Amino acid sequence: MKGVCLLGSTGSIGQSTLDVLRTNPHEYNVVALTAHRNEERLLKQCIEFKPTYAVIPDAGIAESFRHEIEASDASGTQVLSGLESLDFVAALPEVEIVVAAIVGSAGLLSTLAAANAGKKLLLANKESLVISGDLLMSAVKDNGATLLPLDSEHNALFQCMPSNYRTGCAAKGVRKLLLTASGGPFLNFDSSELKNVTVEQACAHPNWSMGRKISVDSATMMNKGLEVIEASYLFDMPAEKIEVLVHPQSIIHSMVDYVDGSVLAQLGNPDMRTPIAHALAWPDRHDSGVSALDLIVNKQLTFEEPSYEKFPCLMHAFEALKAKGTAPAILNAANEVAVGAFLDKKIGFTDIPKLIEKAMERSTIVVADSIKTVLSVDVETRLRTNQYIEEL
């Protein structure tokens, strides 16, 4: 049985991953589960899967959780706290597979720890690649790790690559990457209507069940912008060879355009268990628990160009990718702060791209030559963006 460390087990990706493990009980052993603060859900997961370790970074919450574990049927699980504990469980020798599903830049260091330990790294935390792309890809290469994408779009691209392909390399014969986007809940809104949309509307994705932050990113199309940057690092492709197509049905998850005129696409029902099962089993395949795609029911597949006027976040992401250096880290940090302020109802929906633009315009872009540099830029950008919010 393969040992699994699940970083971020209580979020939507974490729950979907555990569902796939549940479907294949004789394939995997859960060694470690981690959560930010959802004690109730983590306790249920520990009782079911009985991991060796459970991690909650906050020491106070972890202490309370430790008492709950000791009084439960998971009393054998050791509770750890502190950010360094995330790195510890990601590098455990009994762990073969690390699923990096912590949302945002908070997942960067533990993702790097898994890469440095040479693990099979299943990456759902796209922000790690966005803010430290070259550093993370170098860690994967230098330590013999295997990096497999969990985002449905990048997993689709990976499946459409030539046989024996490894992430981080430019695939021979590939002309272009075609990333599909649902368009989110506001695809058919006019630009003038976006100013007054609510948090509840922004979090109501038409096709996918996701957390609040990523749902807002989908609504602004920043999620697709971050995926463009991620795709550039994963597949060693420049910005001008990556195209975004709005595909409202979310059936074709992405496509690879080859120089001979062939376009390979990966299709499936919009369910994250499919890419998770693919990455867990790779290079083999096993059951995901997802129903088969019915092409008679899903017979209409449409595509259109994205509107940069309506979704300027996507444009800002392409700009950051072309600028390179710390520009993607600035973009990501400003976006996380702006989305948090929107979810707290401090700013409006259309203020999100304005804050990102201001942060990028007023920041100095430098070479992202170390984690220290990246983290410093991340902190500075967050402080500056919070100041811009106060000005609003």
- pLDDT tens-place string over residues 157-169: 999 999 889 999 9
Q: Are residues 125 and 180 in the same domain?
A: no
| Bond prior to 283 in cis (omega within 30° of 0) | yes
Cα–Cα distance, 121 to 280 (Å, whole number): 9
User: Is residue 390 one of the residues assigned to a domain?
Assistant: no
User: Is residue 157 one of the residues assigned to a domain?
Assistant: no
Residues in the chain: 392
Q: Are residues 237 and 272 in the same domain?
A: yes
User: Is residue 47 one of the residues assigned to a domain?
Assistant: yes
pLDDT at 209 over 90: no
In which band, very low, low, confident or very high, does the pLDDT at 113 lie, cut at 50, 70 and 90?
A: very high
Secondary structure (3-state) at 215: helix
Nearest to 100 by CA among 86, 83, 88, 82: 86
Looking at residues 181-201, what average pLDDT do you find? 90
- The structural domain count of the chain equals 2
Q: Are residues 283 and 134 in the same domain?
A: no
pLDDT, residue 350, reads 96
* End residue of a domain, out of 101, 132, 149: 149
In which band, very low, low, confident or very high, does the pLDDT at 362 lie, cut at 50, 70 and 90?
A: very high
Domain coverage including residue 228 = 174-385
Q: Are residues 117 and 178 in the same domain?
A: no
By DSSP bridging, strand 252-258 and strand 174-181 are: antiparallel
User: Is residue 167 one of the residues assigned to a domain?
Assistant: no
Q: Are residues 140 and 221 in the same domain?
A: no
In which band, very low, low, confident or very high, does the pLDDT at 325 lie, cut at 50, 70 and 90?
A: very high
pLDDT, residue 127, reads 84
Q: Are residues 99 and 233 in the same domain?
A: no
**What CATH number is attached to the domain comprising 272?**
1.10.1740.10
Across 127-136, 237-246, 330-339, least confident range: 127-136
Q: Are residues 143 and 186 in the same domain?
A: no
Q: Are residues 237 and 184 in the same domain?
A: yes
Number of H helices, E strands in the chain: 15, 11
User: Is residue 182 one of the residues assigned to a domain?
Assistant: yes
Q: Are residues 126 and 203 in the same domain?
A: no
User: Is residue 96 one of the residues assigned to a domain?
Assistant: yes
pLDDT, residue 63, reads 94
pLDDT, residue 169, reads 93
pLDDT at 381 over 90: yes
User: Is residue 192 one of the residues assigned to a domain?
Assistant: yes
pLDDT at 353 over 80: yes
pLDDT, residue 87, reads 97
pLDDT at 206 over 80: no
Looking at residues 115-123, what average pLDDT do you find? 98
In which band, very low, low, confident or very high, does the pLDDT at 208 lie, cut at 50, 70 and 90?
A: low
* Angle, vertex CA 41, rays to CA 37 and CA 45, nearest 5: 120
* End residue of a domain, out of 115, 149, 183: 149
Q: Are residues 81 and 217 in the same domain?
A: no
pLDDT at 24 over 90: yes
Q: Are residues 140 and 208 in the same domain?
A: no
CB atoms within 10 A of CB 209: 12
Q: Are residues 126 and 181 in the same domain?
A: no
Looking at residues 17-32, what average pLDDT do you find? 97
**What CATH number is attached to the domain comprising 76?**
3.40.50.720
Instruction: Output the CA torsion sign for 184, 11, 102, 199.
Output: positive
pLDDT, residue 211, reads 78
- pLDDT tens-place string over residues 36-59: 989 999 999 999 999 999 999 999
User: Is residue 8 one of the residues assigned to a domain?
Assistant: yes
